[in-house]
């Protein structure tokens, strides 16, 4: 069963120009994400992950290609329309705590600051903010300032802030890179819980395979394109009754199947490691079809 597609990237290209120099950050990236999915985006530094996330979130626009989020065509929007879209549809969690929270506001004030004040009165807003802080397990610290919290706690508050506008999509750019690995797993579990309970679509960038291995779908990016995808065959199984949101630790790499992506021109990107393992070290390969399988092998010398 295919769910509604909430993010569709079609041949996205992003070129940055830095004093005469052009940087190709995205090179024709195709991607679809369904409503309610929780995916991770994995890739080396500089591969284009943040650029992609910023474009999905309407913070940046592509040089070419199309980006649709729900029925909004972001590639056609003006700055003010993008801002409106962002305010209503997207929640962001950044890597650095200081980009997520105002240091001069308390925890609850930070959450309230992004809520829409118009319709409701202040008490109602406070109630809603408190409920969000309960969702992330931070209600008891509502009157502290960010500097009085640990890195992991700050990120929990950042998640509550990101959810305060009731977004359809939560975008998180390496939200766990500044915390230790135990805290990183707790943050991931919290995101899982919010994904399951609130149905919010979550796209998380990481370079930590220990985290991405716990997620149903991992999209790997290399050189500004989707290179491969990993899909978990079994659904994830998170125990929410546990206060620490434990997930089963027997979920390991074996249950993943790896997929490579054919682009619109039927091109396939193979990673270096695959080629190394197959002993392919030339740029000419032999391609044959055997039993509905395409076999790519090293050019054989005997054939000459």
Residue among 45 and 288 whose Cβ is closer to ligand ADP:
45
Closest distance of CB 214 from ligand ADP, Å: 20
Angstrom CA distances, 188 to 141, 165, 179, 265, stand at 21, 21, 12, 36
Q: Could you give the string, one character per residue 39-58, with x where binding to Mg ion holds by CB under 5 A and - elsewhere?
A: ----------xx--------
CB-based contacts of 98, cutoff 8 Å, min separation 6:
none
- Is 99 an interacting residue with respect to ligand ADP (CB under 6 A)? no
The CA-CA-CA angle for residues 2, 6, 12, to 5°, reads: 110
CA dist 57 and 170 (Å) reads: 9
Residue 71 binds: one of Mg ion, ligand ADP, none (C-beta under 5 to 8 A by kind): none
Q: What is the dihedral of CA 79, 80, 86, 92, to 10 degrees?
A: 60
- Is 23 an interacting residue with respect to ligand ADP (CB under 6 A)? yes
Closest distance of CB 202 from ligand ADP, Å: 17
Member of 1, 18, 287, 289 binding ligand ADP (CB under 6 A)? 18
Residue 51 binds: one of Mg ion, ligand ADP, none (C-beta under 5 to 8 A by kind): ligand ADP
Q: Are 7 and 203 in contact (CB under 8 A)?
A: yes
CA dist 182 and 11 (Å) reads: 37
Largest CA distance in the chain: 81
Residue among 209 and 246 whose Cβ is closer to ligand ADP:
209
Residue among 48 and 115 whose Cβ is closer to Mg ion:
48
- Note the residues at the interface with Mg ion (CB under 5 A): 49-50
Residues that bind ligand ADP (CB under 6 A): 16, 18, 23, 25, 43, 45-51
């Amino acid at each position: 069963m295919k769910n509604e597609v909430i993010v569709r990237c079609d041949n996205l290209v992003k070129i940055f120009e830095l004093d005469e120099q052009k940087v190709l950050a995205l090179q024709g990236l195709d991607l679809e994400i369904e409503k309610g999915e929780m995916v991770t985006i994995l890739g080396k530094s500089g591969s284009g992950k943040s650029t992609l996330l910023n474009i999905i979130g309407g913070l940046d626009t592509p040089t070419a290609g199309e980006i649709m989020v729900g029925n909004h065509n972001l590639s056609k929007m003006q700055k003010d329309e993008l801002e409106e879209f962002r305010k209503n549809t997207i929640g962001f969690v950044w890597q650095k705590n200081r980009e997520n929270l105002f240091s001069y506001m308390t925890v609850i004030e930070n959450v309230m600051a992004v809520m829409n004040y118009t319709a409701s009165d202040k008490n109602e807003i406070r109630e809603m903010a408190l409920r969000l802080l309960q969702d992330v397990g931070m209600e008891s610290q509502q009157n502290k300032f960010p500097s009085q919290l640990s890195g992991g706690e700050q990120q929990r508050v950042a998640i509550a802030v990101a959810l305060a506008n009731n977004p359809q999509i939560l975008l998180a750019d390496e939200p766990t890179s500044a915390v230790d690995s135990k805290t990183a797993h707790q943050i991931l579990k919290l995101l899982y819980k919010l994904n399951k309970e609130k149905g919010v679509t979550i796209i998380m960038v990481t370079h930590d395979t220990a985290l991405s291995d716990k997620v149903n779908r991992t999209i790997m990016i290399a050189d500004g394109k989707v290179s491969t995808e990993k899909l978990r065959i079994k659904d994830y199984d998170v125990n929410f009754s546990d206060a620490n949101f434990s997930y089963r630790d027997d979920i390991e790499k074996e249950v993943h199947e790896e997929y490579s992506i054919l682009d619109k021109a039927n091109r396939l990107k193979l990673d270096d490691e695959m080629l190394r393992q197959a002993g392919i070290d030339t740029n000419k390969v032999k391609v044959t079809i055997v039993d509905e399988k395409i076999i790519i092998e090293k050019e054989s010398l005997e054939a000459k």
